[in-house]
Amino acid sequence: MSFRATVLTLFPEMFPGPLGVSLLGKALEKNLWSLDVRNIREHGLGKHRTVDDTPAGGGPGMVMRADVACAALDAAQAANPAPAIYLSPRGQPLSQARVRDLSTGPGVILLCGRFEGLDQRALDARAIEEVSLGDFVLAGGEIAAMALLEATMRLIPGVLGAEDSPSEESFENGLLEYPQFTRPQSFEGHDIPKVLTSGNHSEIAKWRKAQSESLTQQRRPDLWTLYEKPKS
């Protein structure tokens, strides 16, 4: 059975977007994974399919109603009994380990928020996991959902083609990826490092590991600390 992704959004026309092109799009056509996009407004209330209301306690903006969100989620889980994730700036940071874990499961349901967020009672009542892309705020969860799905889908066997490609990428071994080079041999006075054209695979592996360690230490001291911990 292929990985089943369900997206709950107020803007279904945004999908598949980037997910429908290149290797991910081809994998979607080959049914290596499936995408079901559902409009939350179908579960809205009244003549105008209302999905939000003013914040309890006052304040700017509007809040998505718990009854509407849960109705949309319940309908989605009836068709795709997968874990639910709400894309939120206050969620746990998305990691390579989390997307790898998701890629080995049957699928995921992604709830895209808008306005000032989602009524907390919906999150509590359905035990919805909150996930964040980083310390910044977007207008809605759709772009974050696309990023999560792309990161996950590319780990599905057969999607990228080269099965060993993801294994040496950033975060897979706790380090940032080493620099990459290709032709021409010389570009604007800069040459490809000689070790990479030496044919000595042992030396190439040593060079790449050293570069990964150096980059991680310089750019992501938080990752470097975690990488060093098992050695201490």
Give the span between the Cα atoms of 112 and 47, in whole angstroms. 23
Res 76: pLDDT? 98
Res 161: pLDDT? 77
Are the CB atoms for 115 and 61 separated by under 8 Å? Answer: yes
Quick: pLDDT tens for 156-203. 999 997 655 566 666 878 899 999 999 999 999 999 999 999 999 999
Res 209: pLDDT? 96
Distances (CA, A) of 227 to 99, 204, 214, 221, 223: 19, 21, 12, 10, 6
Are the CB atoms for 153 and 33 separated by under 8 Å? Answer: yes
Res 166: pLDDT? 62
Q: What is the torsion angle, in degrees rounded to the nearest 10, for the CA atoms of residue 170, residue 165, residue 34 and residue 140?
A: 20
Res 172: pLDDT? 79
CATH top-level class of 3-153: alpha beta
Amino acid at 158: G
Question: Where do the structural domains in the chain lie, given as residue ranges?
Answer: 3-153, 169-231
Res 167: pLDDT? 60
Q: Structure pTM?
A: 0.90
CATH 1.10.10.10 fits 169-231, yes or no: no
Residues of the chain whose pLDDT is less than 70?
1, 162-170, 231-232
| Sole residue written with tokens 């068709």 | 79
Res 229: pLDDT? 81
Whether 169-231 and 3-153 are alike in CATH topology: the answer is no
Q: Could you tell me the end-to-end alpha-carbon distance of the chain, in angstroms, rounded to an integer?
A: 43
Question: 104 in helix, strand or coil?
Answer: coil
Res 24: pLDDT? 96
